[in-house]
Amino acid sequence: MRLTHFSTLSLLAAAIGLSFASTAGAARPPAPDLSNSEFQQCLDRLQSSSKFRGVDSYTFNTYRPSQPDPSVIQSLNYQPEFQKDVWDYLSVLVDKERVEDGIRAKRQWGDTLRQIESRYGVKPEHVLGVWGVESNFGQTLGKKPLFESLATLSCFDRRQSYFQGEFANALKIVQRGDIAPSDMTGSWAGAFGQTQFMPSTFLELAVDFDGDGRRDLVNSVPDALASTANFLDNRGYRTGEPWGYEVKLPDGYWAASNRKDKKSMSHWRNQGLTLANGSPLPYDLSSAGLLLPAGKDGPAFLVGKNFDTFYSYNASENYALAIAHLSDLIAKEDSSKTDFITAWPTDDPGISRQQAKDIQQALLNAGYDIGGVDGIIGDNTRTAIQQYQTSRGIFPADGRAGQRFYSQITQGQTQTPSARPSMPVPTDRMGQLIEHQTTITPSTSSYSAPSQPTTSGNTRYRRIIGSDGVTRLVRVDEGS
Ligand code: CA
């Protein structure tokens, strides 16, 4: 459970469809100077305020931070300029490694998942999909001390009232003995445990499923999985329904992406939609809306109510699609192919976490100080990629880690500066966009995209950087 505006992951996910902005290289703003005396006065006021009425003074004083943590204010105000395309977002969250981890988890926790299904009516793969995307099956819980983060957010900058409530709820959780104080660590915004619940969601929906009397979403997998199922059930999950399907639109069909506009399956059959493999649409969804994450030329989906329950976990359609897709692959126990049937409309698809690690290792080998190799393409890696691209004359030098850059850096297929487009750089008719065509194409290098677009019409897009510094996608060819 993360709230869209407070989650790094969600901020990266916020680019819906083809609109996204800007390039790497924008530095994170420095952490602000926060006055500790102001902070302590604020905590004094909070302790006697109505929001903290249910928190006893022993608990408050024991876990009262001695100083604020400026880094969380920095995170609160940091809108990464680089937002991921949907194909980059999905390729990292649903890769071979995560599907294999999910299949193992399904076998290891099979009995527990069956008990959870019989109590909450939620399919095992849907619980696993959330678990895998939220915390990498319990491996990534967040390390920020929760009381420091939430107390700081309660006293400085925006949304203080909201965070004061979450701070009070976090204290109530340790006061009740559900979670050990030393386990109260999480994201900078206060989401914690294997389900990444905010404290308020914990108090509302966490359950004790292993029967030890504590709702321990940090250390107990049964508690974490059952709490996830309870969350989905609470948000309107329909027992027995799939989340939806990848579908194929009839030729020439046009409709807006609007998953909330639910229609019957008969309606969609009459419109000429089929499953992506061409089979007739089944009737096991009571109603479904059309989701086109990258417009009409990319993968298309009909999604039902259960997709909406995934969405409510993090308020992002791409995030919900990652859970949905991961759950399908875990259910099928097939990690051999993580792409959708219809390819994304791009000539430069996204990379897996292993490929991200390979890129980071290659950057380290080339002398770029990116810290370490963690498979997460963050600010440091993007900046290094951009510097690498600039130094090698690779256009666009946008800091993006896609399949093309992966080939370039791991196989040393970089272009020499002499291959740069001659100046002046052409502008389009609007006079706003400067197209930096990438100088490496599949025909002149051994680069090969793992999945070429296969949609009818076969529209492709290329990233261009406008004179305003904003990256956009433009159509580059059709009908091939
Ligand atoms: Ca328990």
Sorted by where each begins, the domain ranges of the chain are 9-234, 244-332, 353-475
* Two structure tokens written together for 184: 């109260």
Residue 214 CA, ligand 1 centroid: distance in Å: 4
Residue 205 CA, ligand 1 centroid: distance in Å: 13
Residue 215 CA, ligand 1 centroid: distance in Å: 5
Residue 71 has pLDDT above 80, yes or no: yes
Residue 397 CA, ligand 1 centroid: distance in Å: 50
Residue 27 CA, ligand 1 centroid: distance in Å: 43
* Two structure tokens written together for 402: 């896609």
Res. 78 pLDDT band, cuts 50 70 90: confident
Residue 220 CA, ligand 1 centroid: distance in Å: 6
Determine the pLDDT at residue 303. Answer: 98
Distance set, CA 126 to CA 23, 146, 232, 352, 422 (Å)? 34, 28, 9, 22, 52
CATH code of 244-332, in short, is 1.10.530.10
* Two structure tokens written together for 361: 């290792």
Separation between Cα atoms, residue 116 and residue 221, nearest integer Å: 12
Residue 224 CA, ligand 1 centroid: distance in Å: 9
Residue 389 CA, ligand 1 centroid: distance in Å: 51
Res. 82 pLDDT band, cuts 50 70 90: low
Determine the pLDDT at residue 35. Answer: 97
Determine the pLDDT at residue 265. Answer: 97
Kind of pairing, strands 300-303 and 288-291?
antiparallel
Q: What percent of the chain has pLDDT over 90?
A: 74
When pLDDT is averaged across residues 35-42 and rounded to a whole number, the result is: 98
Question: What is the CA angle 352-355-357, rounded to 5?
Answer: 115
Residue 273 has pLDDT above 70, yes or no: yes
Residue 216 CA, ligand 1 centroid: distance in Å: 5
Residue 223 CA, ligand 1 centroid: distance in Å: 5
Determine the pLDDT at residue 94. Answer: 97
Residue 454 CA, ligand 1 centroid: distance in Å: 48
Determine the pLDDT at residue 228. Answer: 98
Q: What is the tens place of the pLDDT at every residue in 439-465?
A: 222 232 333 333 333 333 334 455 555
Q: What is the mean pLDDT of the chain?
A: 84
Most confident of 15-24, 67-76, 419-428: 67-76
Residue 173 CA, ligand 1 centroid: distance in Å: 13
When pLDDT is averaged across residues 405-417 and rounded to a whole number, the result is: 72
Residue 68 CA, ligand 1 centroid: distance in Å: 32
Q: What is the tens place of the pLDDT at every residue in 343-374?
A: 999 999 999 999 999 999 999 999 999 989 99
Residue 222 CA, ligand 1 centroid: distance in Å: 8
Residue 21 has pLDDT above 60, yes or no: no
Residue 174 CA, ligand 1 centroid: distance in Å: 14
Residue 183 has pLDDT above 80, yes or no: yes
Distance of CA 179 to the CA centre of its chain: 26
Range in 25-29, 198-202, 347-351 the model is least confident about: 25-29
Residue 211 CA, ligand 1 centroid: distance in Å: 5
DSSP per residue, 198-257: -HHHHHHH----SSSS---TTT-HHHHHHHHHHHHHHTT--TT--SEEEEEPPTT-----
Separation between Cα atoms, residue 410 and residue 413, nearest integer Å: 8
* Contact by Cβ (8 Å): 469, 448: no
Residue 257 CA, ligand 1 centroid: distance in Å: 41
Residue 136 CA, ligand 1 centroid: distance in Å: 20
Determine the pLDDT at residue 1. Answer: 57
Determine the pLDDT at residue 49. Answer: 97
Distance set, CA 33 to CA 146, 170, 364 (Å)? 20, 25, 33
When pLDDT is averaged across residues 378-398 and rounded to a whole number, the result is: 93
Residue 207 CA, ligand 1 centroid: distance in Å: 7
Residue 234 CA, ligand 1 centroid: distance in Å: 20
Residue 177 CA, ligand 1 centroid: distance in Å: 11
Determine the pLDDT at residue 29. Answer: 74
When pLDDT is averaged across residues 161-187 and rounded to a whole number, the result is: 97
Residue 327 CA, ligand 1 centroid: distance in Å: 25
Residue 120 CA, ligand 1 centroid: distance in Å: 17
* Contact by Cβ (8 Å): 338, 274: no
